[in-house]
């Protein structure tokens, strides 16, 4: 096993540093307001303090991400390490070896003044790599260590990688697609849980039902007798079926007592619907299955409905859940 450390770096959101990287044989990161960081004591606490001073308005989480990347770029990235740069300009994967220590070079690019000299060794098409390797090298951070697929990039340097990796045999495709989908689902649930606690969640569910063709009446904020929304398909709300909806904006588990209580408010000819960001216990689901006019929607199914009807959302909820349509690969089965 090769013991070289492999790092990944990006050239800005739209590849603005591409020319700097490829024409000047350097890799670089921003954080220009920090100036020359070579005089900062080589420990994480000092780098955190320097970031806090240069960017006083940043949250603790943003500060942690920033100082961690800068510290690693200056003190953990060593001469001889391998760096992977996926270019957004030429759609190539550039692989090089770090040849110089940290230098502050605002003369090269004032936006990306923190630099390290590098010797580019290989320039390969993206198709030469597995989808998993491409996904790891596309990290959301500017500078990061590549671990899971490090050996694949090192093999590329030694010409052990085929120039065209058959997609049908790329077992990482399904994993990458699943990871993207899971990340999106987590984002939706977190935003709903954080921003729509209590009564606002009822408004959201009513809006979702509206995109599905229902007309809704939301109970006023305050005691609602266990019914948050009444949904129907006619304009006046007289024509069956009438759906009585209760919503739960909590992310925990909902048991049989809550489900039974809702069903007790459902009259003959009506339907009951319980919508939750969380999950339902097996007893609650068993009770619902025994009632033909009772339906439970947990957080997972709610996200399914959000994704299905998202294009019909109004600007308020699209602003709350900013999503854009992307295409992800599906695994291709090998033919026998």
DSSP states of 3-67 as a string? Answer: ---EEEE---TT-TTHHHHHHHTEEEE--GGG--GGGS-SSHHHHHHHHHHH-TT--HHHHHHHH
Polymer length in residues for the chain: 336
311 shares a domain with 206:
yes
Structural domain tally of the chain?
Answer: 2
What is the domain range of residue 95?
A: 6-165
Q: Is residue 176 part of a domain?
A: no
Hey, what are 64's tokens? Answer: 């942690």
> What is d(CA 7, CA 142) in angstroms, rounded to the nearest whole number?
11
DSSP 130: -
Q: Are residues 20 and 156 in the same domain?
A: yes
Could you tell me the two tokens for 251? 């992310």
**Does residue 98 share a domain with residue 39?**
yes
Please state, in angstroms and rounded to a whole number, the distance separating the CA atoms of residues 130 and 146: 14
Structural domain includes residue 181:
no
For residues 198 and 311, state if they share a domain: yes
Q: Tell me how far apart the alpha carbons of residues 267 and 65 are, in angstroms, rounded to a whole number.
A: 55
- Domain end, chosen from 123, 150, 165, is at 165
Q: What is the pLDDT of residue 239?
A: 75
- Are 83 and 22 members of one domain? yes
Residue 138 and residue 204 in one domain: no
Kindly state the tokens that stand for 162: 């085929």
Report the chain's C-alpha Rg in angstroms. 27
* Residue 171 domain flag: no
Same domain, 132 and 239: no
Residue 279 neighbours by CB distance under 10 Å:
15
CATH number, residue 306: 3.40.1350.10
pLDDT per residue as tens, the chain (336 positions):
567 899 999 988 778 898 999 999 999 999 899 999 999 999 999 999 999 999 988 888 888 888 889 999 999 999 999 999 998 887 789 999 999 999 999 999 999 999 999 999 999 888 788 878 888 888 778 899 999 999 999 999 887 654 444 444 555 556 566 667 777 888 898 899 889 998 999 999 999 999 999 999 999 887 657 899 999 988 877 777 899 999 999 878 899 999 999 999 999 889 999 999 989 999 999 999 999 999 999 999 999 999 999 999 999 999 999 998 877 666 555 444
| 69 and 203 housed in the same domain | no
Q: Looking at the domain assignment, is residue 175 inside a domain? A: no
Query: For residue 206, what pLDDT is reported?
Result: 96
- Note whether residue 11 is domain-resident: yes
Shared domain check, 114 and 206: no
Q: Tell which residue, 77, 90, 156, 147, has the closest CA to residue 122.
A: 156
The pLDDT, as a whole number, for residue 336 is 41
Return d(Cα 111, Cα 67) in angstroms, integer. Answer: 17
Structural element, H or E, at residue 246: strand 242-248
> What are the angstrom distances between the C-alpha of 68 and each of 41, 49, 143, 211, 307?
14, 12, 9, 44, 35
Q: Domain containing 126 — which CATH number? A: 3.10.590
Looking at the domain assignment, is residue 217 inside a domain?
yes
Does 75 fall in a domain? yes
Let me know whether 142 and 194 are in one domain: no
Residues 201 and 160 in one domain: no
Domain identity same for 155 and 19:
yes
DSSP at 305: H
Residue at 183 is within a domain: no
């Amino acid at each position: 096993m090769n013991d070289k450390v492999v790092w990944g770096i990006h050239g800005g959101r739209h590849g603005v540093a591409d020319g700097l990287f490829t024409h000047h044989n350097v890799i670089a990161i921003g954080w220009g307001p920090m100036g020359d960081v070579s005089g900062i004591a080589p420990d994480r606490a000092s780098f955190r303090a320097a970031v806090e001073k240069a960017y006083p308005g940043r949250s603790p989480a943003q500060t942690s991400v920033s100082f961690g990347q800068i510290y690693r770029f200056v003190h953990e990235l060593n001469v001889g390490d391998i760096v992977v740069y996926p270019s957004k300009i030429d759609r190539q994967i550039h692989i090089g070896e770090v040849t110089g220590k940290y230098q502050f070079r605002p003369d090269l690019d004032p936006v990306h003044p923190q630099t390290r000299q590098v010797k580019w060794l290989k320039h390969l098409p993206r198709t030469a790599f597995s989808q998993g390797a491409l996904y790891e090298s596309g990290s959301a951070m500017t500078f990061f260590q590549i671990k899971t697929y490090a050996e694949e990039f090192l093999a590329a340097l030694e010409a052990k990688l085929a120039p065209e990796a058959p997609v049908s045999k790329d077992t990482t495709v399904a994993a990458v697609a699943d990871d993207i989908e899971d990340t999106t689902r987590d984002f939706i649930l977190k935003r709903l849980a954080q921003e729509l606690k209590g009564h606002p969640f009822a408004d959201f569910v009513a809006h979702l039902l509206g995109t599905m063709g229902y007309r809704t009446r939301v109970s006023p904020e305050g005691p609602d007798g266990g019914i948050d929304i009444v949904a129907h398909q006619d304009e006046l709300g007289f024509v069956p079926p009438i759906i009585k909806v209760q919503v739960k904006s909590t992310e925990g588990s909902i048991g049989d007592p809550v489900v039974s209580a809702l069903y007790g408010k459902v009259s003959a000819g009506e339907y009951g619907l319980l919508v939750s960001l969380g999950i339902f216990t097996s007893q609650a689901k068993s009770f619902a299955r025994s009632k033909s006019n009772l339906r439970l929607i947990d957080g997972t199914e709610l996200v399914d409905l959000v994704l299905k009807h998202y294009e019909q959302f109004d600007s308020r909820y699209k602003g709350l859940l900013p999503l854009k349509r992307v295409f992800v690969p599906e695994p291709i089965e090998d033919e026998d």
